Amino acid sequence: MIRTGPAGWSYPDSPGHVYPADVPARFDALAYLATYFDTIEINSTFYRPQPAKTFASWARRVGHNPGFAFAVKLWRRFTHESTAARGRPAEAWTADEVRQVTAGLDVLQQEGRLGPLLAQFPWSFKPGAGSRELLARLADDFRPWPVVVEVRHGAWDKPEHLATLREFGFGFANIDQPVIGRSLPATAHASGVVGYVRFHGRNYDQWFATSDDAAQRYNYLYTAEELEPWVRRIRALAAADGVRDVYVISNNHYEGKGPANALMVRAMLEGRKVQAPPVLFETYRTVLEAYAAPES
């Protein structure tokens, strides 16, 4: 199965671009978007572990979509705060920290709403003894769950490193990003049971924006011509040996561009127009009208 959807469901610039600007305070953006998408990538789990009751709430709020499954970003404690991410031997995380993460995964799994766990590493994470050690520990501690690894350095794009991920049972996150220096280019690699594609946008000018305007790095709307090669890659991933599911996530979230592009990808894959949130459709009518129609 191929699932498409955005990264996250509510940003400060979402009102007026994705859904009406005057929604009531208790408006549930997650439940709203789960009407149009069959996956959403949870981002808050990257910054801190979330309690099991929060995962239960998320599962309940998507109950109207029987085919919906979450992708969950792994806490950065395991990917960015380890010394292995900087090329030195891995600093040990604790069993309690693993339990803090997996308690919520257990809830989603019991509810039938758990997709892959995304371990997103920084550009500085490169192949080597330290990174292999870290990946081996991740494989041991998160073996019951389908883990997908996102790396951004081009050095990983070699058969021997893909073989390492396959050895550990990890999927590979194929990403579209500004290709600067030795950044990872576009790929269509499948190394586990889950295929994964992640769109970051191609905003070269703002890719290294400071924290004050960091959201601008995701201010990029893909054209149909830019998405078409990715649709071919996504189909190839879905047909690859051993792949059961493919998740396609649009992380170019600025002013709803990610949801708009996710709808376009879904329509291109299915060969038909799909339903779109009315406000989102009006925001990006020029690019969406060939691929989507606003829900009446």
> What is the domain partition of the chain in residue ranges?
2-294
Task: Tell me the CATH number for domain 2-294.
Answer: 3.20.20.410
What is the average pLDDT value for the chain, to the nearest integer?
A: 91
Average pLDDT over residues 40-63: 96
**What's the rounded mean pLDDT across residues 41-64?**
96
Characterise 128 by phi-psi region: left (phi > 0), alpha (psi -120 to 50), beta (else): left
- Is 273 a residue whose pLDDT tops 60? yes
Percent of the chain with pLDDT over 90: 79
Mean pLDDT of 166-181: 90
Closest listed residue to residue 110, CA positions, set 100, 122, 98, 102: 102
For the cut 60, the answer to whether the pLDDT of residue 88 exceeds it is: no
pLDDT of 51 reads: 95
For 270, other C-beta atoms within 10 Å of its C-beta total 12
Per-residue model confidence as pLDDT tens digits over 192-239: 899 999 999 998 777 676 665 667 778 899 999 999 999 999 999 999
Distance, CA of 124 to CA of 117 (rounded, Å): 21
Averaged pLDDT, 127-131: 90
The answer to whether 199 and 261 have CB atoms below 8 angstroms apart is yes
- pLDDT over 60 at 87, yes or no: no
Supply the pLDDT for residue 166: 92
Q: How many CB atoms lie within 10 A of CB 170?
A: 25
The predicted-structure confidence for 256-271, as pLDDT tens digits, reads as follows: 999 999 999 999 999 9
The arithmetic mean of pLDDT across residues 154-178, rounded, is 92
Q: Which two tokens stand for residue 117?
A: 């766990």
Checking if the pLDDT of 171 tops 90, the result is yes
Calculate what percentage of the chain has a pLDDT beyond 70.
Answer: 93
Q: What local confidence, expressed as pLDDT, does residue 267 receive?
A: 98
Task: Return the pLDDT at 83.
Answer: 54
- Among candidates 7, 55, 88, which has minimal Cα distance to 254? 7
List the single range of 36-40, 45-49, 203-207, 248-252 with lowest mean pLDDT.
203-207
Give the β-pairing of 41-42 and 245-250: unpaired
- How confident is the model at residue 25, as a pLDDT? 86
Mean predicted confidence (pLDDT) in 155-169: 92
| pLDDT value of position 181 | 79
Global confidence as pTM: 0.94
